């Protein structure tokens, strides 16, 4: 890894991660397959998997083959599943590395079967059913196609799953309709003599609110990292945000009334103002939409971002906060200790969701793990 000379880091609280896993376990007795795609929602996938594995988790879900291969390099003894599509041409890699693909086309299953036969191995597969998400998956009427897939040599049809489009909304009618379609298809497969041991449908909100969706396996993502799938959903659960973003002050000065800060003079001082500069910006995931619109915490006090967030630097107003010095630590985005500046709050300001904020913390920011 590149050596880090600038004082910016994302702190990842492993005790909070474990706490969140234990909270999830209160909601379900089904097996938990944590979703660790996108570098574990920005938290650093290798460390996250190491901790969860120590807590007894055996199976992990990622979005793409390259993410699974990265994990396979570090962990030979976990079950890995790719929950997004993998092109048929990469079937041999899947078989060789023992990675479970999502199957949503007969062609893809045929290629995998051929690879398994050639390598003299059995490839586990999970079939994805589109019951209403409208993204990927065999449509729920694809009984004949699934029958064909189930007869292909070299494959073990271990799982069947679907994804819910509205599990985080106040109205769960559509989610129940999706589950009904899924159940109906599963029953018909069973009657046709196709027994599939694992069914799964539950993302985070469904794990918390829809016990009917738990089946044999749940696939929570965001709540593991301590954030709610939508504002207000299961607030009482007590998840703890795991990541905070921190930096140290690299420059400090006082400007006069009428002087400005940053590009476009977006901030103009209306009084003598003490300005501190932080060495991070939108290239690190501190979004430009936070210009003049966010507060950071220094010495337990709030200090507003002033002017435009730059690519690599951001200015804050520390007027009236005593003894602010070069090198002082600033919390730019808070974990559970500073919920008022959490990723969820940041998402609200930027009109997005906490997922996008967390995934957006850039690769230039080193992850520092605390409370192992």
Ligand X SMILES: *Cc1c(COP(=O)(O)O)cnc(C)c1O
> Considering the complex, what minimum distance in angstroms separates the CB of residue 157 from ligand X?
18
Q: How far apart are CA 145 and CA 193, in angstroms?
A: 15
Q: Which three-class secondary structure state does DSSP give residue 44?
A: coil
Residues whose CB falls within 8 Å of the CB of residue 214, separated by 6 or more in sequence, listed in order: 28, 29, 30, 202, 206, 207
> Considering the complex, what minimum distance in angstroms separates the CB of residue 108 from ligand X?
17
Q: Which two tokens stand for residue 206?
A: 């469904």
Of 94 and 222, the one with the shorter C-beta distance to ligand X is: 222
CB contact at 8 A, 350 and 290: yes
> Considering the complex, what minimum distance in angstroms separates the CB of residue 213 from ligand X?
11
H or E, element range at 331 = strand 329-333
CB contact at 8 A, 226 and 16: yes
Applying CB under 6 A, the residues found at the interface with ligand X are: 35, 37, 83, 163, 203-204, 219-222, 229
DSSP 299: T
Longest dimension (CA), the chain: 80
**Residue number, nearest CB to ligand X:** 221
> Considering the complex, what minimum distance in angstroms separates the CB of residue 203 from ligand X?
4
Of 43 and 219, the one with the shorter C-beta distance to ligand X is: 219
CB contact at 8 A, 103 and 127: yes
Q: Where would I find the H helices in 55-90?
A: 65-74
Q: Where would I find the H helices in 28-64?
A: 37-41, 45-54
Of 241 and 281, the one with the shorter C-beta distance to ligand X is: 241
Of 229 and 307, the one with the shorter C-beta distance to ligand X is: 229
Of 216 and 257, the one with the shorter C-beta distance to ligand X is: 216
Report, as residue numbers or ranges, the catalytic residues.
Answer: 37, 263
> Considering the complex, what minimum distance in angstroms separates the CB of residue 328 from ligand X?
35
CB contact at 8 A, 368 and 12: yes
CB contact at 8 A, 79 and 72: no
- State residue 12 phi and psi, 5-degree precision: -115, 115
Closest listed residue to residue 203, CA positions, set 186, 216, 217: 217
> Considering the complex, what minimum distance in angstroms separates the CB of residue 332 from ligand X?
23
Rg of the Cα atoms in the chain: 24
Q: Which two tokens stand for residue 229?
A: 């799938």
Q: Which three-class secondary structure state does DSSP give residue 225?
A: helix
Helices (H) and strands (E) in the chain, counts: 11, 20
> Considering the complex, what minimum distance in angstroms separates the CB of residue 64 from ligand X?
11
CB contact at 8 A, 370 and 12: yes
């Amino acid at each position: 890894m590149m050596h880090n000379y600038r004082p910016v880091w994302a702190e990842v609280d492993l005790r909070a991660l474990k706490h969140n896993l234990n909270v999830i376990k209160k909601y379900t007795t089904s097996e938990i397959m944590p979703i660790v795609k996108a570098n574990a929602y920005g938290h650093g996938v290798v460390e996250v998997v190491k901790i969860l594995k120590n807590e007894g988790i055996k199976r992990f879900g990622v979005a793409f083959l390259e993410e699974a291969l990265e994990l396979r390099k570090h962990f030979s003894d976990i079950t890995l599943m790719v929950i997004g599509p993998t092109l048929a041409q990469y079937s041999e890699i899947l078989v060789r590395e023992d990675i479970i693909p999502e199957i949503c086309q007969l062609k893809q299953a045929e290629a995998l079967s051929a690879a398994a036969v050639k390598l003299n191995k059995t490839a586990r597969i999970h079939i994805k059913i589109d019951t209403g998400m409208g993204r990927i998956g065999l449509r729920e009427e694809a009984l004949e196609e699934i029958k064909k897939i189930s007869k292909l040599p070299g494959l073990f049809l271990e799982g069947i799953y679907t994804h819910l489009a509205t599990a985080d909304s106040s109205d769960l009618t559509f989610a129940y309709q999706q589950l009904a379609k899924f159940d109906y298809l599963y029953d018909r497969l069973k009657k046709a003599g196709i027994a599939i041991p694992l069914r799964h449908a539950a993302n985070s909100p469904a794990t918390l609110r829809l016990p009917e969706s738990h089946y044999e396996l749940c696939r929570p993502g965001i709540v593991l990292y301590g954030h709610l799938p939508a504002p207000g959903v299961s607030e009482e659960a007590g998840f703890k945000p795991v990541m905070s973003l921190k930096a140290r002050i690299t420059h400090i000065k006082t400007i006069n009334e009428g002087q400005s800060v940053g590009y476009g003079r977006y901030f103009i001082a209306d009084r003598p103002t003490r300005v501190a500069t932080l060495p991070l910006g939108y290239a690190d995931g501190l979004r430009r939409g936070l210009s003049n619109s966010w507060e950071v915490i220094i010495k337990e006090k709030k200090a507003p971002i002033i002017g435009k967030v730059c690519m690599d630097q951001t200015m804050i107003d520390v007027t009236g906060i005593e003894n602010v010095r070069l090198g002082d630590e600033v919390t730019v985005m808070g974990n559970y200790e500073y919920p008022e500046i959490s990723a969820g709050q940041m998402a609200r300001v930027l009109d997005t969701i906490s997922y996008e904020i967390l995934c957006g913390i850039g690769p230039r920011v080193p992850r520092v793990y605390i409370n192992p």
